[in-house]
Structure 1
Amino acid sequence: MAQRGETRHRRGLRGLLGEVVLDTRPLRYPAYRRLWTSSIISAVGAQFSAVAVPKQLFDITGSSAYVGLAGVFGLVPLLIFGLWGGAIADAVDRRKLLLISNGGLAATAVLLWLVAASGIASVWLVLILFAVQQTFFAINSPTRGAAVARLVPAHLLPSAQALRSTVFQLGSILGPLLAGMLLPLLGLPVLYLVDAIALVVALLVVLRLPAIPPNEAAPKKAGLRSVIDGFRYLGVHTVLLASFLLDIIAMVFGMPRALFPEMAEHTFGDPHGGGVALGWLYAAIPLGAFCFGVLSGWLHRITRHGAGVVVAVAAWGVAIIGFGWADSLWLAVLFLAIGGGADLVSMVYRSSILQAAATDEMRGRIQGVFTVVVAGGPRLADILHGLGGAWLGTGGAVMLGGALVVLATGLAAVCLPAFWRYRAPTGDHV
């Protein structure tokens, strides 16, 4: 009897863990598992270049203005090729496009390594190579996103997106930490070399994916008309448009990262030039998202994806208000981590809506818009929060931004009731 009771207890515990811990069922599908594995490798490796490029520019020039210029060189190709890359992903075999874009990313990482290792102190060469790298990324990202719905059943899309988002957050945490450890030991060129090796390994994994050809309704060419058709499609599909609108609301009003350096020094007592507080502020959001992602096994059971996005974005706004109010570092980190968890929930459901509500022949172009929105929103937030911090003080600007997120989210939910009522479709495949 005691043994039977212990067995039932273990089964009950496994069942409870299955309800809470990250749902790994999508990994049972070999093609998705390969795509996910390549994403892990690419996500961690990409952070090495993300640390190396600004460090190299500052070492060459001694000026933060040139470091900021890298943002422009990265954003412009992302805006252009994010949209065009999505159109290409609808018109060609997505596996082939992943191979080409992954190969381009690896090649630019090798070139950046050669420039750094040879001691060529050319700012413009580094910026141009960085822009080329971001061009390949802008094509690769929507292609990866558009491929997911072809590799797993529809009912597992939220779980697949949670796995994908958690991997990205893990890369955002581990990548900079590992880069920071290797930089003083092995030097800056090694960061590019590690990124290049990681991308080559990811390329070999992608090589084992099955063909993902366009369907019969897909466009034959990826020209300007194809991109315009994507925007027209988005304009008449309220659910998709609302998902992008809510992400813009969350990021533009509620992403206060531009104020982190000032708050770290003036609010949380960092020495001039940076310290522990600054590192924790930057790490808190991805850390919270990762921890929440590990405990996201229950997300696939909620079918009201529209309501899930609205509640998650509102929770993000409340967490940002709390961050602006906090006067101790650990309380501030806690609020940012809660915000990171809410952002992950929003990301999972928005991505699932995109995969399920868009037809396959449009999925790449809509994923391209998604890439542009996700990348562009925080950059607009940097401008607004920088100005707001100068006028209102950092705490006031952050709390006002969080309040605007909550108010605008509520208004959007009222004005777009179809999105609030949106449920995940039933069926096995999209």
Structure 2
Amino acid sequence: MTEEAPPAPPPGPPAAAPPPSRLRALLPDLAPWRSSRDFRLLWIQGLITYFGSFMALIALPLQIKHLTGSPLAVGAMGAVELVPLVVFGLYGGALADSVDRRRVILLTEAGLGVLAAILLVNALLPEPLLWPLYVVAGGVAALAGLQRPALDSLMARIVPHAQQTAAAALNSLRWQIGAIAGPALAGLVVAYAGHGTAYAVTVCTFAASVLLCLRLSPAPPARDAAKPSLRGIVEGARYAWSRPVLLGTYAIDLAAMFFA
């Protein structure tokens, strides 16, 4: 006579899903990358231009030092950049609210490419000139001041609100990659191939950036947006002056540029 098998225990609650691995928890959230085509384009464009910008950022003061032998002449580049950065930064904030942001980014990237081409042509001369280096440094600061507000405000439009934190983290990761690898690569290029090669790489990166910006979706302003005016710029300056946090940030930037 065979023994009957004991009855099976009643089914329990379903097993909980395994917790995510520690490695996955350390990885950035790629939701903005997957959901927004324009964010992907801007992220790649920004990474490319970081490398190109650092090429010029390293090569330009080194070339000034090579032409003059004066650390003071190198430090004067920061003074040349100061006024355009502040003035055009204020104007860029008003401009970003009144025109197509995509157009602002596209035109400023093209302008930066033209300035890099001027550096390249000057570096290829038998005797490179000094004054174009300062003119280009001031022009770069002006275009960067115009572009930054449009770029920052465009991020808020192309990325859903719930993914803004993830987008900021991905942009921070992009900046860290560029800030670490860019100067290192730029130093090697300048040391072994010269200033001209570094400027040629910069021109190529901005050409690629313009092509990527052409694929961005239009970002027109609101219908009731006010046109940029001197009054709006003055109001922006008054607002900045009334905010101690902003004044502290400006003071730190001024000190860094002066002592650098």
Cα distance in structure 1, aligned partners of 2:117 and 2:149: 23
Q: Which has the higher helix share?
A: 1
Q: Which one of the candidate residues 160, 183, 199 is aligned to 1:176?
A: 183
1:116–1:243 Cα change, 3 Å: same
Equivalent residue letter for 1:113: L
Cα distance in structure 2, aligned partners of 1:105 and 1:10: 51
1:27 paired to 2:29 = no
Q: In the alignment, is the contact (CA less than 8 A) between 1:109 and 1:133 conserved in 2?
A: no
Which residue in 2 is equivalent to 1:419? none
Shift of 1:119: 3.4
Q: Which one of the candidate residues 212, 221, 244 is aligned to 1:205?
A: 212
Shift of 1:183: 1.7
1:230 paired to 2:232 = no
What 5-or-longer segments of structure 2 have no aligned partner? 1-14
Q: In the alignment, is the contact (CA less than 8 A) between 2:78 and 2:257 conserved in 1?
A: no
Q: In the alignment, is the contact (CA less than 8 A) between 1:99 and 1:207 conserved in 2?
A: yes
Shift of 1:10: 10
1:120–1:90 Cα change, 3 Å: farther
Aligned residues: 245
Which residue in 1 is equivalent to 2:9? none
Which residue in 2 is equivalent to 1:166? 173
Cα displacement string for residues 371-417 of structure 1 (whole angstroms, at most 9, x for unaligned residues): xx4xx52332566x89xxxxxxxxxxxxxxxxxxxxxxxxxxxxxxx
1:106 paired to 2:116 = no
- Ranked by relative contact order (alpha carbons within 8 Å, sequence separation 6 or more), the top structure is 2
Shift of 1:159: 1.4
Cα distance in structure 2, aligned partners of 1:167 and 1:106: 21
Equivalences for residues 51-62 of structure 1 within 5 A: 51-62=58-69
Cα displacement string for residues 268-316 of structure 1 (whole angstroms, at most 9, x for unaligned residues): xxxxxxxxxxxxxxxxxxxxxxxxxxxxxxxxxxxxxxxxxxxxxxxxx
Structure number with greater Rg is 2
Cα displacement string for residues 58-79 of structure 1 (whole angstroms, at most 9, x for unaligned residues): 1110101100010011122111
Cα distance in structure 1, aligned partners of 2:230 and 2:97: 13
1:95 paired to 2:102 = yes
1:381–1:48 Cα change, 3 Å: closer
Cα distance in structure 2, aligned partners of 1:44 and 1:191: 10
Equivalences for residues 383-394 of structure 1 within 5 A: none
Q: In the alignment, is the contact (CA less than 8 A) between 2:47 and 2:175 conserved in 1?
A: yes
Shift of 1:19: 3.3
Which residue in 1 is equivalent to 2:144? 137
Which residue in 2 is equivalent to 1:359? none
Cα displacement string for residues 4-59 of structure 1 (whole angstroms, at most 9, x for unaligned residues): xxxx9995344x44433222211111111111111111112100110011001011
Which residue in 2 is equivalent to 1:121? 128
The 3-state SS of whatever aligns with 1:218 is coil
Equivalent residue letter for 1:380: A
Cα distance in structure 1, aligned partners of 2:257 and 2:141: 20
What do you get for the CA RMSD once the two structures are aligned?
Answer: 2.5
Shift of 1:104: 0.1
